[in-house]
Structure 1
Amino acid sequence: MSDSKKILVVTTERIPGQEYEVIGEVFGLTTQSKNVVRNIGAGLKNIVGGEIKAYTELLSEARDIAVDRLRENATAMGADAVVMMRYDSDSISQDMETVAAYGTAVKFK
């Protein structure tokens, strides 16, 4: 397991049983584009309705990449964990989505 995979990432402000000092803000970003096959499938779904699974998968993959990059950033800062992790996403264009994972890097005492 790489060092960055060992970084604990939580959405809470506190980690029970841990004392730590704040290192600073940390983030991971990715921008993903939709491919032609996904666009055709999405166009068909717009006609009949329902979940567009290819887009759901795209966003799920983007989220995982953003968290991996967040962990890499935290590792480079010497952190042991990231608290208060959040996601943000946005469409850059009709064919591109960006996902950011961000939080506060901390070092255990």
Structure 2
Amino acid sequence: MTDKILVTTTEHIPGQEYEIIGEVFGLTTQSKNIAKNIGAGLKSIVGGEIKDYTKLLAEARDIAIQRLRDNAVALGADAVVMMRFDSDSILDGMETIAAYGTAVKFR
């Protein structure tokens, strides 16, 4: 059901009129295990992409969007407009991602 919730970064959805329900959020904090952190530390010596951290951020983004959709469904929304991401490092190897936007109901 939540996969049917349209999530867009635009303010307007072409061809749709809607009323604003309110803000919605999806939050997650993720970390890698100690072995992956050591490997990432070694990779930082020679440079290049640290694929484990890229994967960590992609997984965290997907979880945050799913939680955003869940929040929108709980409010009875049909879509989320103006979706944005925010992220921060809490500790080495620990990232927090917030997906947020405005839940709307189609008329």
Give the distance between the partners of 1:61 and 1:81, measured in 2 at CA. 22
Aligned to 1:70, which of 68, 84, 89? 68
Equivalenced residues, count: 107
TM-superposed CA distance for 1:95, in Å, is 3.0
| Paired letter, 1:101 | A
Offset from partner CA, 1:26-70 (integer Å, 9 cap, x none): 000000012122112211111110000000000000000000000
Query: Under a length normalisation based on structure 1, what TM-score does the superposition of the two structures give?
Result: 0.95
More divergent stretch after superposition (34-43 vs 13-22): 34-43
Match of 1:100 in 2: 98
Which runs of 5 or more structure 1 residues have no equivalent in the other structure?
Answer: none
Return structure 1 stretches of 4+ with deviation > 3 angstroms: none
Which runs of 5 or more structure 2 residues have no equivalent in the other structure?
Answer: none
| Paired letter, 1:106 | V
Corresponding residue SS for 1:50: coil
Which aligned pairs between 1:1-109 and structure 2 lie closer than 5 A?
3-109=1-107
**What do you get for the CA RMSD once the two structures are aligned?**
0.7
Corresponding residue SS for 1:89: strand
Corresponding residue SS for 2:85: strand
| Paired letter, 1:50 | G
More divergent stretch after superposition (72-81 vs 39-48): 39-48
User: Percent of aligned pairs with the same residue?
Assistant: 78
